[in-house]
Structure 1
Amino acid sequence: MPLLKTFVAAAAATLITITGAAAQQAGGTAGNPYRVMLVPADGGTEDGTKADFKPVFDAVTQTTGIHFDIKVGQTYATVIEAICSDVVEIAWFGAASYLPAQQRGCAELLAVDVNHGTSTYYSGIYARKDSGIAAVTDLKGRSMAFGDANSTSSFVYPVAMIVAAGLDPATDLTAIRMTGSHANSLKALAEGQVDAAAASFDSFEKAINQGTISAEDFVVVGKSDPIPNPPLAMSTKLPQEVKDALRGAFNTVHEAPGVSPEMIRGYGGKQVDRYDATVTDAMLAPALVTLSGVSGDLRASILEKAGN
């Protein structure tokens, strides 16, 4: 599949940023914790993505004695290669970055967060209210910021929305900026560097809550279909008893004594009801359909324009 080959090539290109050799697998003890890497959904800062997930990992440690060392990858491709090179045992992906790792035989699902009975979220395209952009079709002749090219909700789904509106992003947008994250794209929009930006609704809401942007200044010009929540995944090389222990830990952590509801956090740092460790790859089927529509050639043409 061309799209998968493109993702794999991008991930392989970042190998030198991680390590030249596979590290010894960790054991989950305080001295040898399981290594976790998160995709940089909100900029990849210590007070961003890492802080979003630290509470739930701390809760698992508190209730099971399993320890974790959490880091944030510089790019989505870095995280793909990290789990495929045995540099980490656990990773947090979007659907667009999990699928290449799963198809390479590196990763399998661990758990996904559930809130109000659902495990879905939304991608959006945003513009300033004074821009005159009221619909996705109005993006013709305008500039736009996307996040990481391996991101489900800051690239794949927004591109699909633009194509569904009858536009070709590579020719109908006057300029394209690849910013690397949702937060950076929203920042570029807020500073007037672009006319529109792509990001998840979770990231948009988080930026508003943090005061980075003002809700009164922006309009949502496009909202995606429901997207499967970004899953936690684990290395296929872990022993089965370890996989079972991790799934059991995340599946029950919300019920554990001493764990407060505020510790059960998901994407964007939002408090969620629980984690579901019975999730299967079939959950990602809707995302796979959208991924197949954003072909390797289309993706390549967008990245080429962004590089000019």
Structure 2
Amino acid sequence: MNKLLAVAAAALSLSAALSLPAHAQSVADGSREHPLRVLLIPADGGTESGTKADYAPVFNAITRTTGLNFDLKVGQSYGAVVEGMCNQLADIAFFGPVSYVQAHKRGCAQLLAVGVEKGASVYYAGMFAKANAPIATIKDVKGKRVAFGDVNSASSFTFQVAMLMDAGMDPAKDLSAIRMTGSHASSLAALVQDQVDVASLSFDSYEKAVKQGAVDPKTMKVIAKSIAIPYPPLALNSKLPEPLKTRLKDAFQTVNKAPGITPDMIRGYGGGKIDGYDTKFSEDEFNVAAEKLGLLTDELKGRILSKAAER
């Protein structure tokens, strides 16, 4: 049964990836006629316009400094972005740490850059509840209804499940109900609407929702905060020509200092302003994501998804 679930999930991911426009299969060289194809995970809300708006400023800045052109698209899911990269439907991708590890292990992706904010390239996953809820610590999550984002997301699924396991819980058995919402914003919305007791999302996504007025912080509280997670990376398709890879890395490393580029254009995960990009970030930093991913066996994921399918 679990193998069937895995096969079905893979098929759906590939189908979503292959639903990209036909022109995505043309040779991309960065010209106006054949822009480099950028595929973005639906990290915040999963809407085409919202996610593209987060990353359009920095790619516009790279265009101004290099003359390279880009076509930004949003994948249907995290898995679809992995499949899109590995099936040569994307030249550059914005991944979560876990989905990047998945693509990198398959030989499809190489690190391009990670955002730098206040000298660091990390972010955090969290579990949130209503301020008046009788839930004080992660141990109190047992028996509660929990919303997760995408099954391939580091900060809306993987690290939260790992925290529950560290607290001695089997999420598939010890949670009263599971909702797989598909995105950080949708998990938070499920909590706001009292559809669940606990929501799983990144702190960046939570802060973005607060700024947008989607949630009143006075009505929420933090139940758990993860260890530091490597910042969601931008990655290159491994099959790109080496001179182009170098050109892109050089551009991202110096884009924050380029003439005519304003601080408003230097944006990262969630559309937040960042100091710049680091193209020399070590691949080894993603080992923490790989370790947490290793805890989530296909059998456990299958049981969690089966639980989520119960209504």
Q: TM-score, normalised by structure 2?
A: 0.94
Could you say if the C-alpha distance between residues 88 and 273 of structure 1 is closer, same or farther in structure 2, counting changes exceeding 3 Å? same
Tell me, in whole angstroms, the C-alpha distance in 2 between the residues paired with 1:295 and 1:225. 21
Aligned 8 A contact 2:116 2:278 in 1: yes
Equivalent residue in structure 2 for 1:278, among 257, 277, 280:
280
Aligned 8 A contact 1:42 1:182 in 2: yes
Could you say if the C-alpha distance between residues 241 and 9 of structure 1 is closer, same or farther in structure 2, counting changes exceeding 3 Å? farther
Aligned pairs for 1:1-308 within 5 A: 10-19=9-18, 23-308=25-310
Letter in 2 for 1:114: V
Unaligned runs of 5+ in 2: none
Letter in 2 for 1:199: L
Could you say if the C-alpha distance between residues 95 and 10 of structure 1 is closer, same or farther in structure 2, counting changes exceeding 3 Å? farther
Displacement of 1:289 in angstroms is: 1.5
Q: How many residues align?
A: 306
Tell me, in whole angstroms, the C-alpha distance in 1 between the residues paired with 2:17 and 2:200. 28
Displacement of 1:13 in angstroms is: 3.3
Instruction: Pick which of 248-257 and 15-24 moved more.
Output: 15-24
Moved over 6 A (4+): 6-9
Aligned 8 A contact 2:148 2:182 in 1: yes
Deviation readout 1:142-178 (Å, 9 max, x if unpaired): 1010000000000000001111111111111100000
Deviation readout 1:193-242 (Å, 9 max, x if unpaired): 00001000000000111011110111000000000011000111100001
Deviation readout 1:229-284 (Å, 9 max, x if unpaired): 11000111100001001101111100100000111001111111110111231120
Could you say if the C-alpha distance between residues 45 and 19 of structure 1 is closer, same or farther in structure 2, counting changes exceeding 3 Å? same
Aligned 8 A contact 2:17 2:75 in 1: no
Aligned 8 A contact 2:17 2:81 in 1: no
Aligned 8 A contact 1:18 1:78 in 2: yes
State the SS of the aligned residue for 2:210. Answer: helix
Could you say if the C-alpha distance between residues 183 and 51 of structure 1 is closer, same or farther in structure 2, counting changes exceeding 3 Å? same
Displacement of 1:307 in angstroms is: 1.0
Q: TM-score, normalised by structure 1?
A: 0.95
Tell me, in whole angstroms, the C-alpha distance in 1 between the residues paired with 2:17 and 2:163. 34
Tell me, in whole angstroms, the C-alpha distance in 2 between the residues paired with 1:190 and 1:305. 22
Tell me, in whole angstroms, the C-alpha distance in 1 between the residues paired with 2:269 and 2:14. 26
Tell me, in whole angstroms, the C-alpha distance in 1 between the residues paired with 2:39 and 2:176. 35
- Cα RMSD between the aligned structures? 1.9
Deviation readout 1:64-105 (Å, 9 max, x if unpaired): 111100011110011001111111100000111111111111
Instruction: Pick which of 233-242 and 280-289 moved more.
Output: 280-289
Instruction: Pick which of 18-27 and 289-298 moved more.
Output: 18-27
Deviation readout 1:280-307 (Å, 9 max, x if unpaired): 3112011111111222222221111001
Aligned 8 A contact 1:7 1:77 in 2: no
Deviation readout 1:37-61 (Å, 9 max, x if unpaired): 1100001224422111111000000
Letter in 1 for 2:168: G
Could you say if the C-alpha distance between residues 12 and 107 of structure 1 is closer, same or farther in structure 2, counting changes exceeding 3 Å? farther
Letter in 1 for 2:76: Q
Tell me, in whole angstroms, the C-alpha distance in 1 between the residues paired with 2:88 and 2:194. 41
Aligned 8 A contact 2:17 2:76 in 1: no
Letter in 1 for 2:267: R
Tell me, in whole angstroms, the C-alpha distance in 1 between the residues paired with 2:6 and 2:33. 34
Displacement of 1:18 in angstroms is: 3.0
Letter in 2 for 1:53: Y
The percent of aligned pairs where both chains have the same amino acid is 51
State the SS of the aligned residue for 1:134. Answer: coil
Could you say if the C-alpha distance between residues 158 and 205 of structure 1 is closer, same or farther in structure 2, counting changes exceeding 3 Å? same
Displacement of 1:9 in angstroms is: 7.1
State the SS of the aligned residue for 2:152. Answer: coil
